[in-house]
Chain A
Amino acid sequence: MEYPWYKFVDGTIEIQQGERIENCPIVIPPTNIGKEGIEVEIREYNVVVLSQSCDLENDKIDIVLVAPYWTFLEVEKIKPEYVSKRNKNKFREGLIPGYHLLDKCDLDEFKSEHVIVDFRNIYGVDIKFLREYIKDKKRIRLLPPYREHLSQAFARHFMRVGLPSGIPQFT
């Protein structure tokens, strides 16, 4: 039995957890907020939706939580040492804190290499804006259980606890 990672989505404003949105504009909170006008930076990231599908479907939230991702190729151009074969397998095994690896996509309508999701820097996007932004865009959506696996990995990262002194290794 096959378990595909992705499903192609087109022509719908419905957003679900695990949805990948390209070039998503994100307003970066400014360092200083004056009494009158301010200058804000807009950054466009390729992002994956982290908010729960039920919250999105039932309009329980105004702000959609998203996390940016990059391909190994994009990372290699800037930090080639991070995508050695050893580190790629560490990403695959979930041994690099704060990051999660998603499989490549071989759908005819949407080809993509493996991508690394960054949980360390997450952003919020207004839901009304996002629905308007995606309605004409082709995108892919993570399928179960990979979608739940992403959610679990994010939760695990978010609930981590650093101990001041751990238990020494048994010898």
Chain B
Amino acid sequence: MSVVEYGNDSKTGRNLSVAAATLLLVTGTTMSYTSEIFGEMEPPMAFVKESNLLAFDLKQSIITEYGKVESSSHMVEEEVNIDLKMPPVRSYKRKATISKRIHATPMVEISGLV
């Protein structure tokens, strides 16, 4: 007798079917819940690692329900604004006279234009 026949034909079978279905439901729920809690063990560690980075910016981070810090790519590849304005090796002044002023003229002439 098959399981189906056995389950359909007797009170015991029905009880077994209900028990199996319940077991499946509980197992599935547990597995799903477990992966959410334990499958991502990284989040707490990631939070610690991220918080130690010099570039860590609280405003840039998004803290999820389980404490996972999702850093934006912008934070990792953030450009730094620097303006060197370094002095020259040395500088000095000289007097100059203007010998002639030249107005810019085209280097080539285009023929055929009216």
The interface centre, meaning the residue of B72, B89, B94 with most chain A CB atoms within 10 A of its CB, is B89
With A41-B93, A45-B89 known to touch, is A95 a contact of B78 (CB < 8 Å)? yes
Count chain B residues whose beta carbon lies closer than 8 angstroms to a beta carbon of A.
Answer: 26
Closest-by-CB residue of A relative to B73 is: A169
- CB < 8 Å: which of B79, B80, B89, B96 contacts A46? B89
Q: How large is the interface on A (under 10, 10 to 19, 20 to 34, 35 or more residues)?
A: 35 or more
Q: Is B74's beta carbon under 8 Å from chain A?
A: yes
Whether the Cβ atoms of B96 and A96 lie closer than 8 Å is no
Whether the Cβ atoms of A79 and B84 lie closer than 8 Å is yes
Nearest Cβ in chain A — how far from B31, in angstroms? 28
Whether the Cβ atoms of A42 and B92 lie closer than 8 Å is yes
Choose the segment among A7-15, A68-76, A128-136, A147-155 that binds chain B (4+ C-beta atoms closer than 8 Å): A68-76
A residues contacting B by CB (< 8 A) are 22-23, 26, 33, 35-46, 68, 70, 74-75, 78-79, 82, 86-87, 90, 95-99, 116, 118, 120, 169, 171
With A44-B90, A116-B84, A169-B74 known, 9 other A-B pairs at CB within 8 A are A41-B92, A42-B93, A42-B94, A44-B91, A68-B86, A75-B84, A79-B84, A82-B84, A96-B80
Can you report 7 residue pairs joining A to B where beta carbons are below 8 Å apart?
A: A36-B98, A37-B97, A39-B95, A42-B92, A70-B84, A96-B80, A98-B82
